[in-house]
Amino acid sequence: MYLKRILISNFKNIREADLCFSRKINCISGNNGEGKTNLLDAIYYLSMTKSYFNSSDSYTFTFGESFSALNGGYVMDDSTEENISVGVKAGGEKIVKRNGKAYQRVSEHIGSIPIVMVSPSDTSLINGGGEERRKFINSILSQVDKEYLRRVMRYNQLLAQRNKLLKMPGIQSDLLETLNERMGPDAHYIYMKRMELCLSLQEMAKEFYSKLSGAKEEVSLEYISDLHDAEEHSLEHLFAKNYERDLILKYTSSGIHRDDVGFTLGGHPIKKCGSQGQQKSFLIALKLAQFTLMKRLHGCAPILLLDDVFDKLDMQRVEYLLGLVASDEFGQIFISDSNKVRMSKIAQSVTKELQAFEVISGVYSNSEE
């Protein structure tokens, strides 16, 4: 599966673009702030129906415009062609179509075009709060498990209702009990899937990091959840235990919405003891683990977006990463770098089957390698 062509209108600083891609390597060069990352984000948007960097669609419009449109032509593994389009209006209306037919729910599209992004902003996985790491876990599972996505969305809706109920004077305990019962099965499903995923990521990330670092350090990944200590991993038991506390705080103080993932290097938090190079190597190892797991579960290689990944990596780690990318395990790859010469050497060492683009102020042109 690969993206053959993309048409872009009013997406961030890209007013208009019509680009055709190589099925293997695609290189995007340009100075910082010119629009390299915006192209990768547009490709990500076609898969996930949202930006990798902004939670609100209001940040996707070109300045002064009131709509944004993306259209992607894909060649699937069986050589059939699929067309995916996403249109967003300033009022918040979003329409996602597959082969001209609109989805009833935007979420139905997620998982159809598997994708993995590696970006400098991924440092928020290490330095940010638990919400960033939950988003990462959700982004993987939602692409390979439709039931997981449905249950997360339903759990969050019920959680919002529960929090609203806790804020009301003279709380109706029977309504609260009903919500607890309805949230329980979803919480258990989500908990078990996250536990399973984290165990798989742990082994794969450890292996990738060992090769990236020359086996100098060992990393670890730990799933952290309130349900670990709850009787039978039951949300209802957890809510019962924290009932009085929730009444005082007026919000739901425990549950899978507080889950987190701990990252360690040599037994210590990587946030505190890891150098920039070690942290970047760990994040790349984590994303390679994500890629491998998604390929195994989805049955085809996800599109891989590498945004400015070579900065702060020594040549040994760059060479290892290139060796992986050159293997048959990977499908279509997009690489952005402000250093055109470096990227040219890197890409040509991997394959001659590539397309190169240069961007200036959101305007793209083919670049000669």
- Per-residue pLDDT of 210-244, as tens digits, reads 888 776 788 999 999 999 987 778 999 999 999 99
Rounded CA-CA distance 48/164 in Å is: 29
Note the CATH number of domain 125-299: 1.20.1050.90
The closest of 169, 130, 159, 131 to 239, measured between CA atoms, is 159
Q: Is the torsion defined by CA of 102, 332, 32, 34 positive or negative?
A: negative
Rounded CA-CA distance 148/131 in Å is: 17
- Per-residue pLDDT of 38-47, as tens digits, reads 999 999 999 9
The pLDDT of residue 157 is above 70: yes
pTM for this predicted structure: 0.93
The pLDDT of residue 91 is above 90: no
Rounded CA-CA distance 70/313 in Å is: 33
| DSSP collapsed to 3 states, 223-243 | EECHHHCCHHHCHHHHHHHCH
Rounded CA-CA distance 294/143 in Å is: 8
pLDDT for the residue numbered 215: 66
Q: What percent of the chain has pLDDT over 90?
A: 69
Rounded CA-CA distance 224/226 in Å is: 7
The closest of 50, 73, 48, 47 to 60, measured between CA atoms, is 50
Residue 279 has φ and ψ, to the nearest 5°, of -65, -40
Instruction: Count Cβ atoms within 10 A of the Cβ of residue 207 and give its class: 0-12 exposed, 13-18 middle, 19 or more buried.
Output: middle
The pLDDT of residue 21 is above 60: yes
Tokens 């450890």 belong to: 206
pLDDT for the residue numbered 232: 78
- Per-residue pLDDT of 288-344, as tens digits, reads 999 999 999 888 899 999 998 877 677 777 777 777 776 777 889 999 988 877 777
pLDDT for the residue numbered 95: 95
pLDDT for the residue numbered 90: 84
Tokens 């946030």 belong to: 271
Q: Domain ranges for the chain, please list them.
A: 1-114+304-369, 125-299
Rounded CA-CA distance 315/311 in Å is: 10
Question: Which tokens sit at 209?
Answer: 């990091």
The pLDDT of residue 349 is above 90: no
- Per-residue pLDDT of 55-76, as tens digits, reads 888 888 888 888 999 999 999 9
Rounded CA-CA distance 260/198 in Å is: 11
Superfamily of domain 1-114+304-369: P-loop containing nucleotide triphosphate hydrolases (3.40.50.300)
Rounded CA-CA distance 95/364 in Å is: 26
